A and B are shown apart, each in its own frame.
Chain A
Amino acid sequence: MKSMKTLMAATAMLALAAGAAQAKQLVYCSEASPAHFDPGPVTGGNDFDASAHTIYERLVEFAPGSTEVIPALAESWEISEDGTEYTFHLRPGVKWQTLPYFTPTRDLNADDVVFSFERQWKEDSPWYNYLEGMTWDYFQGMDMPKYLSSIEKVDDLTVKITLTEPNSPMLANLAMQFASIVSKEYADQLEASGDLASFSTQPVGTGPFQLVDYQLDTVIRYQAFPDYWDGKQPIDDLIFAITTDASVRAQRLLAGECDIMPYPAPADLDALRANENLVVQEQEGLNIGYISYNTTEAPFDNPEVRKALTMAIDKAAIIEAVYQGAGQDAKNLIPPTMWSYDDSIEADVYDPEAAKAALEAAGVTDLTTDLWAIPVSRPYNPNGQRVAELIQADWAKVGVTANIVTYEWTEYRERGKQADRKGPFMIGWTGDNGDPDNFFATLFSCSAIGVSNYSSWCNEDFEAAISAAKTTSDQEERTALYTQAQEIFKAEEPAITLAHSRVFMPMNKKVLNYVMSPLGSHSFKDVDVQE
């Protein structure tokens, strides 16, 4: 059978040889079909991988393997003293991709940059609503309309962005996928022909790869963009083989049908590691799985009760049974790889006896509560049901009866936001831009109550610390403020911080130079394949 495979592969190569001689190909078994190829309105990591990290680029980028912001389409930038004016100097000579449906007549310029943001911002732009029912989820979610005052073209290669108030995470926001730079010339061409929707299916970017073909739910084919400003990529063809089931992805990798895959099921890791043709890269994930108490609901309004209940949970068992070792006990809200992480905080201890005593001391006996379990598998919590089952058993030991409840995912989050929600609510977060503000303020600020503060927790000292940290650009000062915030968080325990999951990237040994991103994106820029 092996020889037959080889024979077939050989004939296949012969059949292709007429087209491209010895094309270097990298096959990535991706986890889901992209909605489309416009990185502005989409929200899924798989959507971004298929467009923002292949076809498009941004003014600034996160350096490979870190959350540090480095120059990309902008060669350099200046930020004014008061922190409200950002001036970007564009890289000259950046070519747009030439495709069957578009031939560029000019290089990247300031018009493209202005257009890329205004289409998401100005409601009178025909592009603001060019797809039926679209929303600019990230542009809104990162509060860009609140902070942006204007985006102006100074000259062909200079753009000035003015903010309404200083906002230290702004530069990192501009490195996020939604801030990808698109071609105004191409948009004008489509507008003239009245076919705006093609913007999302026939993309034109400046990035390292250009789209060749997409077969719905099956395969996306890219080829290296020959005139890429940073030089043509080492590989010729990049293929996304869409494989939604994690076990099947692992099987395909083992069978050599693909070279690299994301999100292996924890259960498959041993088999993948054991294979001599594969290597498994791993990294701390920039995420947190947590369980929000409703701090306005008795008896969870008492911090002592909250701490006692946390103490009653055997987190080590959860990490073993659910995360299969691919997780790490979370003692803080932010993951340890993030700057300002406070390592001096004591980890939660598992002590059912003490927990029981503490509950009794607080006058809590025979407590019956709902326990909300995430209905879907998320990177920060692979199996909410199983976590709930384990906690249910743990709490039973301290005399707390937990009824597991769950709803369809959108319904689940909606109900979780209700101020009168009963019972602890399982949820989590994956960092957007590597800034601590993206965790602290988004998840536990007073203004996030009813949005993403599932604990309905509003603490004055905590709020003061994170607000100050947002407007200061001095990192040392910010670190001090966030350390303070973490201490308050631990003393108040508005939520059980369960775990940070580890992220794994199994790949064939012939894949060279792949660097995992802490932000969870998958970029194949500069990746090579050993012949």
Chain B
Amino acid sequence: MQKGASIRSAGAGLRLLRQSGGHRASPQQENRRATQAARTAPGDPGATHIMLNFILRKLALLIPTIIGISICAFAFVRVLPGDPILAMAGQHGVTPERYEILREQFGYNLPIWQQYFNYLGAVLQGDFGVSLATKRPVINEFMALFPATMELAFVALFFAVAVGIPAGIFAAIKRGTWFDQLTMGVALTGYSMPIFWWGLLLIIFFSGYLGWTPVSGRIALTFFLKPITGFMLIDTLLYGNWPAFVSALRHLILPAIVLGTIPLAVIARQTRSAMLEVLGEDYVRTARAKGLSPRRVVNVHALRNALIPVVTTIGLQVGLLMGGAILTETIFTWPGIGKWMIDSIFKRDYVVVQSGLLIIAMIVMAVNLIVDLLYALINPRIRVQ
């Protein structure tokens, strides 16, 4: 997905949902609720039971969705223009006899519903098919490339959190000052950024003009480390190879900044508004009135409570970032699943497109489920609704 758009729209949609419509709660109220939740002690005897119920209910809802997703992924590929068998052949084409044999081999001659059930049956046994281009199992390719995307997404998120939260906090504390206005202006600009263009500009400047950062790849080619986890930063540390670690980090900087730009903007804005709300709360005023130092008020009281809604925002970004690396990976030729998917769409590698869509959708759903559960954990009112 375009990380930008989906983060924006889904994030915004959720924010709106919470602040309007459903329970007509502004983010401020939401924060208040979350703070209340944080204040109620866990360990309430009924709570575990309700929580379990909630989880089961959520899981039950997932099953029709997953079936729907598998039908969609399967159907999309069937209606794609082009012919998978011709796509495999090169500039010389393929003879009609051979064409028929191949059609049979792939089961493309069977009725469509039978093709679907064969596919579903194979997927349930963990067989996602074999790539038309490389003849390797799709799941192997996915597992080989997924860590690269995960690593990029995590570092991007880390960057977004590490910069976004402090920026949001200071903007809230210095509300109305030039700092606040500048920060929020920059945040809104980041939020409006066509990131494919942003990435190109950063490459021109930092790699082309200044020569500070590598142009593409995950690590300098001098280093040859057999992957252990597939996460370059972790692997280099496991090997105890410090220069390799530094090299991997340098390769990550630009893509992570590009991928992290929009989450950073979202997080900074969210943190600021959550902070503003909490700073206006009675207990914070009380703390202030008691003569506690402003720093202590911010650190101990306001921050802890303000961060709860921010944490769920961050959670939402994870799911969206994971699928959201298509543009970043394309620009930086980062060997991850985003680039893998788009290449496969262009190459008409039908099996990869179909199974890739399915796997990615399931991962997004899993992450959303975890975020939902976390949210319910800190906000008990959701569970009983």
Contacts and interface: CB of A to CB of B under 8 A. Distances in A.
Contact of A138 (B85, B90, B136, B214): B90
Interface stretch (B32-40, B217-225, B303-311): B217-225
Contacts of A410: 82-83, 86-87, 348
Contacts of A255: 207, 211, 214-215
Contact of B244 (A1, A12, A135, A241): A12
A480 interface: no
Interface in B204-219: 207-208, 210-212, 214-218
Given A241-B217, A248-B333, A410-B82, A133 B102 contact: yes
Contacts of B95: 140
Given A35-B133, A140-B94, A407 B88 contact: no
A134 interface: yes
A383 interface: no
B147 to A, nearest CB: 11
B91 A35 contact: no
Given A1-B212, A35-B133, A218 B218 contact: yes
Contacts of B210: 1
A12 B211 contact: no
Nearest to A250: B215
A252 interface: yes
Given A133-B88, A197-B135, A257-B214, A8 B93 contact: no
A334 interface: no
A408 B89 contact: no
B152 interface: no
Interface in B65-113: 81-83, 85-95, 98, 102, 105-106
Interface in A1-19: 1, 8-9, 11-13, 15-16
Contacts of B105: 129, 132-133
Contacts, number: 153
Nearest to B208: A251
A131 B208 CA distance: 43
A138 B92 contact: yes
A27 interface: yes
A36 B203 CA distance: 31
Contacts of B207: 251, 255
A13 B91 contact: no
B55 interface: no
A9 B222 contact: yes
A413 B217 CA distance: 34
Contacts of B87: 410
Contact of A36 (B136, B211, B227, B332): B136
B161 to A, nearest CB: 27
A126 interface: no
Given A12-B247, A217-B340, A218-B217, A137 B222 contact: no
B224 A140 contact: no
- Counting contact residues on chain A (CB < 8 A from B), the size range is 35 or more
B5 interface: no
Interface string A135-155: 101101110000000000000
A213 B225 CA distance: 10
Given A15-B244, A218-B217, A255-B207, A135 B348 contact: no
A474 interface: no
Contacts of B339: 217
B243 A12 contact: yes
B217 to A, nearest CB: 7
B94 A135 contact: yes
A244 interface: yes
A221 interface: yes
B125 interface: no
B145 interface: yes
23 contacts: A8-B246, A11-B242, A12-B223, A43-B90, A43-B91, A135-B94, A137-B94, A138-B92, A140-B94, A141-B92, A141-B93, A142-B92, A197-B135, A200-B135, A216-B144, A241-B221, A243-B333, A245-B216, A248-B332, A255-B214, A407-B81, A410-B83, A452-B93
Cβ-closest 3 pairs across A and B: A141-B92, A43-B90, A251-B215
Given A12-B243, A15-B241, A254-B208, 6 more contacts: A15-B243, A43-B91, A137-B94, A216-B141, A217-B339, A252-B215
